[in-house]
Structures are given as C-alpha cells and as structure tokens.
C-alpha cells in the first residue's frame, strides 16, 4: 500500500503539471465533450473521423495538438483515479491491521468530485470558478496522498521499532532546554504553521483565479503594474463571474484582470514574508529538531524558487516552461509545509504518550497502610522505569537523523494522523 501511495503521489504531481500545461496552451476545450474526444476514446486522426467530428462540433473543429494535450491529461487523471480506488479497497480490507481507512475513503471521494469538476470544466466552457476549483482539487488530492504516505511510512517504522523522538531528546544536540519550553515551541509552531498553510492555500487559489481568467499578463511592469493602475482597481468585478456563453480567453474587462493580477502579487508578498519568517524561526530555534530544520530549509529553497519563477513570468512574458514550473513548485512548497506540520504532530503525540506513561499506575483510594506500601512500590518502579528509559535513549539510533532516540512508544491515536 505504501508503494502504491508513493506511485500515486507521482501520478498526482504529473496530473497537476499536465493540467497546467493544458490550461496554458489553451487546450482546456481541445475536446469539446467528456470523457472522450469528439465521441472517441482517442483524438480523431483519420480524414473520415475528423470530418465526422467537425460535423458534430462545427463551432470547434479538431485541433490535434490541443486535443492530445487534453486527452493525455485525462488518461493520467483516470489512471490516478484507479490507483486511489485500489488504495481505498486495500485500506478497507486491511483495516484490522491498523491501516488508515478514513483518509483513503476521503481521497476516493475527492477523486470522484475532481472527475466531476473535470467534466464541468468542459461542459460549462471553462467557467472560472470550476477551473479554479479543479486546480485546488488537484492540490488537495496530492496533499492527502502525501499525508497518507507519511502515515504509512511512520507506521512501517513503528513496526520496525523506530519512533520519532520526544521533544526534549530530539532537540538539536539534546541541549535545547527544558521540556516545558520545548513543548511550548512545538505548540506555537503548530499554530503558526497552520496559519501559513491557510495563507499558502489562499495564494494558490488566487493564482488559480488569475490563470482561469487569463489575467497572468494583465500587468507586465514591476513592482505593481503599469502607471494608473490605482484607477483601474475593481475588487467586486474582479471576483465575480460575468454572464457569458464561453469563458475561453476570459470574460472580464481589463480593469478587473488588472485587479486580479495585483491582488495575486500582494498575496505573493504576504505569503513570501510569512513563510520566510516561519522557516527562519525554525532554523534558528534550539527547540526545533534536526528534521524540522531540514524540512524548513527545503521549504525556504522552494519558496525562493517560486518567487523567482513568478518574477520570471512577468519579466519574460509568461514563458510556457516557466509558467508550468510555477505550478509544480507551488505543489512542492505546499507539501514541504505539510511535512513540517506532520513532524510537529508526531512529536507532540509522542510526548503526550510519554507523559501518560509516566503518570500511569496512579494510586487508588485505599487505606493509609496500603497507600504507604503503594508509594514505596511506585518509587521503586519509577526508578526502574527511569533507568530503563535512559538505557533506551542512549542505545537507540534514530534512522532518520542519525542521533539517539529517547524512547520507543506505541502510536498515539488521533491528531494529525486522522
């Protein structure tokens, strides 16, 4: 199941890239019907089939290049759907073995809804709301698959005896301060990382809206837009859906597209500054684990790459390769932030389990002689537990970071693991 999930992540990334390529080559209506193409499973190529297709859809004659772009995207999306269906079936059949079930079923529902959005994209003639929703649906599927893979990988490590280290001993150099300070940092990191996730998803949605309305080149000057842009701002019009029979090449006026583009630029600045501050804070903090520092460094590289690609889109007038990479790196940035959040939940869950273990065997309401005997026994047990804990901490090697792990604990229910 883990290998199938990893393969599905690769497929989902390919589908997102192909979707961006299809949109940027104006091939969203390369096949005017769904799920086939001009009533065929493949693009019509023979003279006879082309003539039949043109007769059936005289308003949209066959353009083989655009039709193939659309159909290849559909082939990969269909394969991804079958993989997600297989994951859901395996999860249900292996639910007694502790395999995740809710997340695979959620993925299956997302795939079905994503297929419906793909159909509406064609049947509603590239309605911007649907196009943007289709983009966000693709990112959602990729994110859920990535979280599922992280869960399965950690479960496999648990079965082998590996475990994410507790907050105190997992800190850089094991000299990060007391447990309370470390736990506070992790809780704060979880809070601010979730805010960052909301900011990033909002920015991805703004990018999708800008692209769906063909506003990527509405502004070609830096840092904001061409002179007089203040007079063209129209927030209400920019985020409305005008009545139109066909939304190909956009249905908004120039001022509304300028507004979309400017809002996307300001959103990019906010996203960059927030994630930059978040990543640097993790890198310089002594309460962050080595793994969290590595993930944050990777996130910052993706963030800077994304900004450079966004600037290149403007300066070089939206080159196809750069625009496609802009979508791909957005997905990488999203996954890196999710990975950071996952590490926080993992550490906090392990600390919670360890605290419960230390608080176990609390004395019951019994007579005073029995209470005294129980306290003596508890002191001996606690001393033995601490010595065994220290022995495990000194002897166990964490395969992910190469440093010693503080304890080996059973997986805690709930939390980010769903």
Distance CA(110)–CA(117), nearest Å, equals 10
One DSSP character per residue, 53-79 reads: HHHH-TTS---HHHHHHHHHHHHHHHH
> Alpha-carbon distance 315 to 337, whole Å?
28
Copy the structure tokens of residue 327: 């979508």
Please enumerate in sequence order all residues whose Cβ is within 8 A of that of 377, keeping only pairs 6 or more positions apart, or say none: none
Beta bridge partners of 37: 40
Q: Which of 105, 132, 137 is nearest to 15 (CA)?
A: 137
**Could you write out the DSSP letters of every residue in 94-108?**
TGGGT---HHHHHHH
CA-CA distance, 385 to 259, in Å (whole number)?
63
Active site residues: 70
List the end-to-end C-alpha distance of the chain, in Å, as a whole number.
17
With both helix axes pointing from N to C terminus, report the angle between 64-93 and 102-123 in degrees, rounded to the nearest 10. Answer: 160
CB 141 within 8 A of CB 111: yes
CA distance 5 to 146: 8
Taking phi first (over 0 means left), then psi (-120 to 50 degrees means alpha), and beta for anything else, what does residue 232 get? Answer: alpha
CA distance 84 to 316: 38
């Amino acid at each position: 199941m883990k290998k199938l999930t990893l393969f599905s992540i690769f497929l989902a990334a390919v589908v997102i890239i192909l979707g961006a390529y299809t949109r940027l080559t104006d091939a969203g209506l390369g096949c005017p019907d769904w799920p086939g193409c001009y009533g065929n499973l493949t693009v019509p190529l023979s003279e006879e089939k082309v003539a039949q297709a043109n007769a059936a859809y005289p308003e949209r004659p066959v353009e083989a290049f655009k039709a193939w772009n659309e159909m290849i995207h559909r082939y990969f999306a269909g394969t991804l759907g079958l993989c997600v269906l297989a994951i859901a079936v395996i999860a249900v059949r292996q639910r007694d073995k502790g395999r995740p079930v809710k997340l695979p079923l959620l993925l299956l529902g997302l795939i079905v809804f994503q297929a419906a959005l793909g159909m509406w994209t064609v049947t509603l003639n590239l309605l911007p709301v649907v196009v943007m929703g289709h983009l966000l649906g693709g990112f959602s599927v990729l994110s859920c698959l990535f979280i599922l893979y992280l869960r399965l990988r950690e479960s496999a490590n648990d079965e082998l005896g590996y475990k994410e280290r507790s907050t105190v001993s997992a800190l850089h150099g094991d000299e990060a301060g007391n447990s309370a300070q470390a736990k506070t940092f992790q809780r704060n990191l979880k809070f601010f990382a979730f805010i960052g996730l909301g900011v990033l998803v909002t920015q991805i949605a703004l990018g999708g809206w800008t692209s769906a309305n063909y506003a990527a080149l509405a502004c070609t000057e830096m840092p904001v837009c061409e002179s007089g842009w203040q007079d063209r701002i129209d927030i209400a019009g920019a985020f409305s859906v005008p009545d139109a029979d066909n939304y190909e090449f956009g249905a908004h006026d120039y001022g509304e597209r300028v507004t979309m583009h400017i809002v996307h630029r300001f959103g990019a600045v906010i996203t960059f500054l927030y994630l930059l501050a978040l990543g640097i804070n993790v890198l310089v903090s002594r309460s962050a684990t080595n793994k969290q520092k590595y993930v944050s460094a990777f996130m910052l590289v993706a963030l800077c790459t994304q900004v450079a690609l966004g600037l290149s889109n403007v300066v070089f007038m939206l080159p196809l390769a750069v625009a496609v990479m802009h979508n791909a790196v957005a997905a990488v940035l999203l996954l890196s932030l999710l990975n950071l959040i996952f590490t926080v939940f993992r550490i906090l869950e392990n600390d919670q389990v360890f605290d419960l273990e230390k608080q176990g065997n609390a004395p019951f309401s019994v007579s005073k002689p029995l209470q005294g005997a129980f306290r003596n026994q508890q002191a001996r047990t606690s001393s033995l537990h601490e010595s065994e804990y220290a022995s495990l901490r000194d002897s166990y090697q964490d395969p992910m970071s190469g440093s010693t792990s503080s304890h080996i604990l059973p997986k805690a229910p709930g939390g980010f693991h769903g």
